[in-house]
Chains A and B, each alone.
Chain A
Amino acid sequence: MIKTPQNMKDYTDQIRATLKEKFLQTTLNNFATSYKASRAKAFSGMDLEALREEIACAKDAALPRLEELLEEFTRHAEADGVKVHFAKTAQEANAIIAAIAKENNVKTIVKSKSMTAEETFLNDHLEKQGLKVTETDLGEWIIQLRHEGPSHMVMPAIHLSRYQVGDLFTGVSGEEQDPENIDKLVKVARKQLRPRFIEADMGISGANFAMADSGAIGIVTNEGNARLTTTLPRVHVTLAGVDKLIPDIKTALTALKGLTRNATGQGITSYVTWIKGQPPCGASEKEVQTRHIVFLDNGRLALAKDPVFSEVLRCIRCGACANVCPIYRILGGHTYGHVYIGAIGLILTFFYHGRDNARAIVKNCLNCQSCKVVCPAKIDLPYLIKKVYREVMDEDGKRPLRNRLLARVMGNRKLFHTLLKNAWMAQAPIADGPKIRHLPTIFGRKHDFRTIPVLAKHPLRDQWSSFKPVVRNPKLKVALFAGCAQDFIYPQQAKDAVTLLASYGVDVDLPMDQTCCGLPLLMMAENETAKEVAEQNLKALDTDRYDYILTLCASCGSHIKENYPKLLQKENAVPEGVKKLEEKIIDFSSFMVNVLKVTADDFRVSGKKVAYHAPCHLCRGLDVVEEPRELMRVAGLDYVPAADEDVCCGFSGSYSVDFPEVSEQLLRRKVANMEATGADIVVTDCPGCVMQISGGMDKHASRMRVCHMAEILREMRKKE
């Protein structure tokens, strides 16, 4: 039933079709906005970071012990009369459950929501055996009736409108339903499903927790259907991934605190149910319920032992990685996953449903870090998505030509820089002043949603010796990591920063052996070359000689700080030199505010109205949030907050080339939000964002100017 595109061509077609679904985009957009507010409210007054750390540590401690926990759980559960099964594969799990149904003479089954059952396509299997299976979670029932998969882990039918549900329920109930009356639609489900609960021979549930020291399970729900599913039928079967095993109830209660707040912004759901042994059951001749628990492996045990990927099993299925994802917000779950959707879905699809289903979707990540910072179990989702991308390429046995070329060129700094310089010559015929307004037709019109800046005639590195200001008795010595964009496209941004810093007695060097930070390589899963350039930069940026390593590019900064330790670790330890680099690297706004402690006296009072775009890699990658806003205020600018300031502009390097339609949508929204502020200028902290947003402003004939923080700061600085 679920068909996921297995190549980029089919996937692009699916994306184009999805972009025409206006209801979907409106509803997901509203959801993204309201989710942010309700989540913040749910966690207010709590130490969220400590909780995330606690959940991550508790899961990490359990994962290497899964087999042991399974044995302990089985011992306790079986002592209380519950039969525990272990299924190596999805097919095995389905066969076990069908056999339980058969031996208990089961005809009808009610199910409460289980993502694991979605994973194994359990319903299809049971229906083929002639069993009547009814989903009872409202959302799951709706998609079962429509023969669809869930489009969200927590809200499976979020993609549907009240009108679609109204039509569906009119058909099911045989009575005309008023789609405007959602309360009444919900009551249709109550009325239609009650008899199903009462007649059911068997109930199938999932489990959020399986506690080894008691053999009890925990189920988290809102509707009350799981309580009915586990109470009324004479047989109850639980299907759970083996990763749901945890040592004890304390671990469950800790995870629960993060789960409900992160999933739906609720302090707790309406119902949390803890079941152990065989509860009394009037429908059973034995007067107690027959209970079975099926633990599904399907690759989990191997995954738990993987040094890189084991952390995906920390997932507690809150669905938040989709809620905050700017791509999910545009495409919805059916175009952004297979069975599991969102960031975690891109990863799990590869492990649970194979590389054919993962191949195209796994490329669809901006690396904007939104999911990483919201994950209650601190899974580094964007990093692992790139790792899966690489696994897919390796298993397919072919790296695209673009990858091989990129790796070869970037691995050699001199070759890379020579090519960039030559490229300036090549683009001359299509350039229109400082911009390329229309790409040659071979690129296709879908890339024409923004203008692209031309490469600078003289890169920063070529101007450096004649430009470098002389600073006598410097207060601080700083190395500038320019990054490709400022070196070759926007040298003026770097020059403005250096001039400004000189006025504060900061002596800036540009170490010439530096090269691309390597993020574009990691984005294309070229890890080996990403590691090579990281080593080159580590050597070039001689940390002992400088007080700080300054970067004006949030992406370079966050890549160096976050990913270099991962790329360059040796025998699971981060070398001293890398640690020093990690400590010394700093972004422009933080340097101005926290190191130089600039004051309002240094700047003219202009009262210029500015809007701000928070680069993904600054506000999440480097966790720098307050400093840029503070800096704009100190510099005498009238900063007007915009909607979705911290949502990705859609650039993300090669992403915008692979997924131009999605990038265009993100840019369109960014431009609209910026224009709505009524400001004259957009300020940001990343040359990539400057490039994307000014390209969008051009296409939308906007009068707004887009500039880097360093440029506007230099303009505002009082003359000496």
Chain B
Amino acid sequence: MGSACLMALSGDEGAWAEAGALIARGGMVMVAFGALAEWASPGALSGLASRIGLQGFGLALGIALNSLDALRDTSTDTWYALRLRGATRAGIRRCGRLYAVALLGAILARADAVAVAAVSRGCDRIGGGSSATEPATLADRQLTILAWLPAAALLLRRLGAF
């Protein structure tokens, strides 16, 4: 917005049009991104990824979301365990290396546990199939139009409509 104001106030020919185009571009990105972050849920994003053929990514995102708390606990527990065993006295570099190796090992062990649970639920190999996603509502369609309006305006301006 500041750049747009500076551009408009520069007094050059067509400065206002350039500033308007800048605001339209920024607005389009902000509306689309803000709407995605505000109204879409991580689960919906995971479902969408599975629906468009990215089953692996959808499942990985789902696992990541469900493991956030466990990972935080693991990282804290690993740190306390190292402190209790006196690793902090070994110097910051050695302590950091020990912490990283222990944490990465714990993550790999957890991944194996998650994989065993997934296999027991029939998710052995990721292949076809699709996850159900929520149907688009009227608000979703209105928001899509709102996000694409600046793009249409910019395209029309480029084509010389105004």
| Co-complex (A, B) | no
